[in-house]
């Protein structure tokens, strides 16, 4: 098996480029899968696109069928109409155990800005679901993503990585929000969008008090659903400007493909308000608010995903001991997964080699005993043991070479050579 991951790292790619590479809707993902299946018909594929990363997982039995990094970069470039030179230097490619380990780290939130955040494993599950829905998965990606979900569970239960403020929403409310407001129960909160991130952020806000909550969404039924869960009120999307002017706190998570509020629009909105302190938490990827909105006046506090990074790095430092324990689990599970893969790749050929050579042993022993009928039972057994040891010693070098090559991926070249050398039938 060969597993490859290619991704744009949030540590090396600026937010603007990452926004252009993101897959912001399920409809866009469906089109992407259509293109990927056409471009790489022999590969199993899973796209993971979140606010911090865009990753493509590719798996196939035969390494010769593996798309190279250039081909994958060209897919991103063509699909998003983005010149290669704008992002190709920030594409990282990993294969085999390194790729498996990376996915396990992602699912376990070891690779997140906020260690232990619970949201990422749900995003991994959703990416896996969408890939299945688009007929892009196969036995290798099924095994890989099910293992990643299992590893995430182990890390969550066997370490304290998720203790305290562990999600982007909790850090945003607890650290950023608290630096602006002493209390939240007298504030009006506007939620733009109604996804999982919005719901999570609301939970943390309500833990800090009982604010008035307004939910605005392009889809009224989604706004109504979230409002009913949080004791808020759904309002028409057409009234967005009015509710922005009234809000003390705005949490925006629409997933739109471009900012929904540009600076000119916001200036007009602000002129219709009393210029009170306004905390805007833009969790959209791409951004929902133009970055210049934060400079309109001194009472506007605009934070986006990248603004969380320093706080999250501090969080990471404080959890070093738990991180080491989590990484130990991930390393153990990576070895376990690759061992299963190696067994899958080498097991049949090893079994057939042993069976065929032991058939030869049996035939030759029977022929020898026929020619030497005077041998008693103890001598016969000793002869059988000696021949068995000879065969095992002869088999040991090729089987060890097969296992060694398998540790770097599927050993197809050596398997084919062994089939020819020993005349093994398919």
Give me the percent of the chain exceeding a pLDDT of 70. 87
The pLDDT of residue 345 = 60
Give a yes or no: residue 376 inside a domain: yes
For residues 292 and 373, membership in a common domain is answered with no
Are residues 263 and 115 part of one domain?
Answer: no
Q: What is the pLDDT of residue 237?
A: 92
Q: What CATH number does the domain containing 81 carry?
A: 3.30.460.30
Mean pLDDT throughout 81-98? Answer: 86
Task: Calculate the alpha carbon distances from 195 to 13, 130, 227, 354 in Å.
Answer: 25, 16, 12, 56
Query: Where do the H-state alpha helices sit in 193-236?
Result: 196-207, 220-230
Instruction: Judge if 11 and 135 occupy the same domain.
Output: yes
Q: Determine contact, residues 68/56, Cβ cutoff 8 Å.
A: no
What average pLDDT does the chain have?
Answer: 83
**In this structure, what token pair is assigned to residue 90?**
């920030």
Element spanning 91, H or E: strand 91-95
- What is 144-171 written as a DSSP string? HHHHHHHHHHHHHHHSSTTSSS-SHHHH
For residue 423, the model assigns a pLDDT of 59
Bond from prior residue into 286 cis (ω within 30 degrees of 0) = yes
| Confidence at residue 253, expressed as pLDDT on a 0 to 100 scale | 85
| pLDDT > 90? residue 37 | yes
Based on the fold, state whether residues 188 and 158 are members of the same structural domain.
no
Q: Please tell me the predicted confidence (pLDDT) of residue 243.
A: 94
pLDDT the model gives residue 4: 59
Residues 416 and 284 in one domain: no
Closest CA to 24 of 284, 290, 307: 284
Listed in sequence order, the residues at least 6 apart from 217 whose beta carbon sits closer than 8 Å to its beta carbon are 192, 193, 194, 223, 226, 234, 237, 254
Q: What H or E segment, with its residue span, contains residue 234?
A: strand 233-235
Domain presence at residue 289: yes
Regarding whether 362 and 290 lie in a shared domain, the answer is no
Within-domain flag for 328: no
Residues 12 and 160 in one domain: yes
Would residue 132 count as lying in a domain?
yes
Q: Are residues 125 and 233 in the same domain?
A: no
User: Which residue in 8, 51, 137, 230 is the catalytic one?
Assistant: 51
Q: Is residue 323 part of a domain?
A: no
75 and 211 assigned to the same domain: no
Question: Would 319 be classed as within a structural domain?
Answer: no
pLDDT number for residue 413: 58
Same domain, 118 and 151: yes
Least confident of 73-82, 99-108, 341-350, 410-419: 410-419
Confidence of residue 424 (pLDDT cuts 50, 70, 90): low
User: In which domain, by residue range, is 145 found?
Assistant: 2-164
Domain membership of residue 189 (yes or no) is yes
User: Are 374 and 141 in contact, with CB atoms under 8 Å apart?
Assistant: no
| Catalytic residue status for 8 | no
| Segment among 102-106, 276-280, 363-367 with least mean pLDDT | 363-367
> Do 12 and 158 share a domain, yes or no?
yes
425 pLDDT band, cuts 50/70/90, is low
Number of folded domains that form the chain: 3
Same domain, residue pair 365 and 229 = no
């Amino acid at each position: 098996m060969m597993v490859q991951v290619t991704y744009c790292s949030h540590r090396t790619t600026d937010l603007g480029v990452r926004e252009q590479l993101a897959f912001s809707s399920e409809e866009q993902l469906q089109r992407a899968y259509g293109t990927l299946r056409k471009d790489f018909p022999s590969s199993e594929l899973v796209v993971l696109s979140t606010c911090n990363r865009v990753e493509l997982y590719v798996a196939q039995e035969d390494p010769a069928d593996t798309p190279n990094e250039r081909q994958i970069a060209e897919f991103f470039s063509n699909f998003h109409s983005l010149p290669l030179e704008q992002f190709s230097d920030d594409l990282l490619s990993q294969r085999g155990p390194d790729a498996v380990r990376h996915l396990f780290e992602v699912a376990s939130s070891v690779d997140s800005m906020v260690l232990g955040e619970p949201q990422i494993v749900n995003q991994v599950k959703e990416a896996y679901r969408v890939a299945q829905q688009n007929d892009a998965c196969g036995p290798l990606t099924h095994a890989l993503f099910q293992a990643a979900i299992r590893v995430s569970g182990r890390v969550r239960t066997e370490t304290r990585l998720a203790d305290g403020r562990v999600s982007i929403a909790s850090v945003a409310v607890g650290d950023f929000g608290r630096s602006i407001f002493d209390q939240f129960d007298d504030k009006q909160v506007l939620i733009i969008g109604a996804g999982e991130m919005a719901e999570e952020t609301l939970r943390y806000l309500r833990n800090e008090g009982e604010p008035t909550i307004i939910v605005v969404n392009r889809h009224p039924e989604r706004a109504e659903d979230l409002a009913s869960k949080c004791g808020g009120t759904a309002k028409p999307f057409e009234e967005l400007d009015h509710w922005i002017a009234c809000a003390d706190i705005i949490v925006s998570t629409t997933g739109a493909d471009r900012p929904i509020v540009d600076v000119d629009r916001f200036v007009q909105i602000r002129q219709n308000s009393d210029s009170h302190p306004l905390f805007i938490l833009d969790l959209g990827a791409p951004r929902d608010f133009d970055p210049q909105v934060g400079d309109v006046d001194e009472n506007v506090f605009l934070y986006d995903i990248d603004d969380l990074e320093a706080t999250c790095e501090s969080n990471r430092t404080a959890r070093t001991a738990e991180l080491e324990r989590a990484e130990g689990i991930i390393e153990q599970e990576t070895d376990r997964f690759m061992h299963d893969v190696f067994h899958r790749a080498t097991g049949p050929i090893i079994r057939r080699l042993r069976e065929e050579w032991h058939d030869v042993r049996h035939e030759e022993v029977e022929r020898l005993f026929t020619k030497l009928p005077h041998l008693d039972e103890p001598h016969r057994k000793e002869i059988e043991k000696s021949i068995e040891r000879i065969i095992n010693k002869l088999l040991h070098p090729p089987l060890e070479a097969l296992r060694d090559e398998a540790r770097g991926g599927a050993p197809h070249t050596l398997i084919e050579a062994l089939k020819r050398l020993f005349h093994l039938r398919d």
